[in-house]
Amino acid sequence: MPSSFRSVMFATVIALSNLGLAEAQEDAPRQVLFTNVNIFDGVNADLIENGSVLIEGNLIKTVSANPIEAPDAEVIDGEGRTLTPGFIENHAHLMLMGPSLSAMEANSTWEDFGIHATLMAKMYLLQGFTTVRDAGGANGGLRRAIDAGQIVGPRYYPSGAFLSTRGGHADFGNFTAPPGSETNFGRLNMAQEVSGVDDIYLYGRNNFRMGATQLKFMQSGGVVSAFDPWQLLAGSKEEIEAAVQVAGEYGSYVMAHSYRKEAIMNALDAGVMSIEHGFSFDCEIAEKMNEIGAYITTNLTAFDPGLLDIPAVKNQPSSLAKAISASATFANYVPNMKECPVKRGFQTDCVGTVEACNIQIAYEKHLNNEFFGPYQSMVTLTSIGGEIAALSGDFTNPYTEGKLGVIEEGAYADILLIDGNPLEDFSVVGTGDKWFGAEPRPESPETIRIIMKDGVMYKNTLN
Ligand SMILES: [Zn+2]
């Protein structure tokens, strides 16, 4: 979206809110002072002990190990709790409620998708996520509603329609539908079949026109999906480069769903900046990623042995065979990542009900800690997520007033106040050690006492 248009919209929002909130708007920016908090700044393993953080308006004004003088501020005594940046989800699908892709293609209307996404947005914020990047299926409408304060949700980075080749991972059409058939997902610009660079130009630009902040290209297949072997090597060099070119026109980038090593290397060669899943990850890939400054996001639930028992896999011989061969190939994923570290973002990749995704998010948090320990997991959930969001560039990124995912002067006031110290006991961030058969989870983890986004308090159980 051109920035001039956005500023017109922004002015309109301010003007409308002035009608009801004239007094509040005219006063000096509201200040909130957190005292007596141990600060995890999103980057450093050492907490700032017994520190203070001053918020002014929607930004962090001061961070200090000493008391801060702010006579007009509302004071919140943290009583030794941990203050952290709000969490960042780098790969969600807020529109996709399931139960399966074919069911959504056949039966779901825009109302179903919109209502589900509204509930998902609220759930994510109350789980402590102040920013969510959507990895396919959502356009700019949900973000408009959240940012205008019409509904409750995180900052939101949609990718528009998945860009997928015929038979690729986001070809959600019916089995018998001939090429070029209209689909439900296509009509709603949630998934588009692309064939050749002209289609990439058309649908890639259309995504940005409809509010996407980056593009999502499907290079590899999947396990449960219908037509695609996980080893699929979709997208020619020219097609992937065309996606990168279109994103570049908007100052933004491409995220690619990539499994096979060749797919990952092709993506990186073309200038893709965010590798999704990347299950064939190895040290050669790491070297290339670090050379160009690319990121990976990891859905660690993919390694849960329970996956082989879910009906969609177990009862479908082709899916079961795919799952078994994939697990064998991906066995070194985590060890390789430990040996050759890269910048790794958090991803849950849930498609399902709000309740099911709530459980999956908590389990994904748990697995991060199991595989990478609490410090790396906290960095993944905060500052790295912020760096990935910022890849959308100066004029397409909707949130450019401050940094995301860090506690530092000038950063956005996206803040959690947590009972205990997540660097010592990671469970306080709201983990769940079970996925299949887990109990329903609370609307918000009890240990997360304050959730602030953009300087506004969405949860406060201190009083
Ligand atoms: Zn996904």
Structure-token pair, residue 442: 């609370």
Residue partners of 407: CB distance under 8 A and separation at least 6? 39, 40, 41, 42, 53, 60, 63, 83, 84, 85, 415
Of 14-18, 51-55, 152-156, least confident by mean pLDDT is 14-18
- What is the H or E stretch that residue 171 is in? none
pLDDT at 26: 56
Amino acid letter, residue 245: Q
When pLDDT is averaged across residues 286-293 and rounded to a whole number, the result is: 98
How many whole angstroms from 71 Cα to the centroid of ligand 1? 47
Residue whose C-alpha is closest to residue 322's, from 208, 442, 222, 392: 222
- pLDDT higher at 2 or 395: 395
Q: How far is the CA of 274 from the centre of ligand 1 (A)?
A: 13
Query: Closest Cα to residue 96, out of 180, 147, 169?
Result: 169
Give percent above pLDDT 90 in the chain: 81
Tokens of residue 387, six digits: 């760096």
Does the pLDDT value for residue 6 go beyond 60?
no
- CA 250 to ligand 1 center in whole angstroms: 23
Q: State residue 40's pLDDT score.
A: 98
Cα atoms found within 13 Å of the Cα of residue 35, Cβ hemisphere only: 11
Distance 111 CA to ligand 1 centre (A): 21
| Tokens 């919109």, residue located | 114
Q: Which CATH number fits domain 3-86+407-460: 3.40.50.10070, 2.70.210.12, 2.30.110.10, 2.30.40.10?
A: 2.30.40.10
Answer yes or no: is pLDDT of 21 > 60.
Answer: no
Predicted local confidence at residue 188, as pLDDT? 98
Q: How far is CA 209 from CA 13, 159, 201, 384, in A?
A: 20, 11, 12, 27
Residue 150: what pLDDT?
A: 98
Tokens of 53: 């953080």
Q: What's the pLDDT score for residue 324?
A: 82
Task: Tell me, in angstroms, the distance from the centre of ligand 1 to residue 258's CA.
Answer: 11
Q: What's the 169 CA to ligand 1 centre distance in angstroms? A: 10
List the structure tokens of 209: 């026109």
225 vs 32, which has greater pLDDT? Answer: 32
Whether the bond into 305 is cis, omega within 30 of 0 = no
Among the ranges given (19-33, 172-186, 265-279, 401-415), the one the predictor scored with the smallest mean pLDDT: 19-33
What homologous superfamily is domain 88-390 in, according to CATH?
A: Metal-dependent hydrolases (3.20.20.140)
Q: Report the distance separating Cα 451 and Cα 4, nearest Å.
A: 31
**Cα 152 to Cα 147: distance, rounded to the nearest angstrom:** 9
From the CA of 76, how far away is ligand 1's center (Å)? 38
Residue 319 contacts residue 313 (beta carbons within 8 Å): yes
Task: Check residues 258 and 18 and name the one with the higher pLDDT.
Answer: 258
Tokens for 269, please give them: 């060669």
CB-CB contact of 221 with 162 (8 Å): no
Q: Which of these, 397, 405, 398, 414, lies nearest to 450 by C-alpha position?
A: 414
Residue 279 CA to ligand 1 centre (angstroms): 13
> pLDDT tens, 30-52?
999 999 999 999 999 999 999 99
Read out DSSP for 197-262?
HHHHHHHHHHHHHTT-SSEEEE-S--SSSSS--TT---S-HHHHHHHHHHHHHTT--EEEEE-SHH
Phi, psi of 256 (to 5 degrees): -120, 130
Question: What HEC string does 54-114 produce?
Answer: EEECCEEEEEECCCCCCCCCEEEECCCCEEEECEEEEEECCCCCCCCHHHHHHHCCHHHHH
Give the Å distance between the CA of 459 and the centre of ligand 1.
29
Q: Is the pLDDT of residue 239 over 60?
A: yes
For 131-186, what is each residue's pLDDT tens digit?
999 999 999 999 999 999 999 999 999 999 999 999 999 888 888 999 989 999 99
Alpha-carbon span 246 to 352, nearest angstrom: 31
Tens digit of each residue's pLDDT (9 = 90 or more) over 394-407 = 999 999 999 999 99
Listed by start position, the domains of the chain span: 3-86+407-460, 88-390
C-alpha 349 to ligand 1 mean position (Å): 5
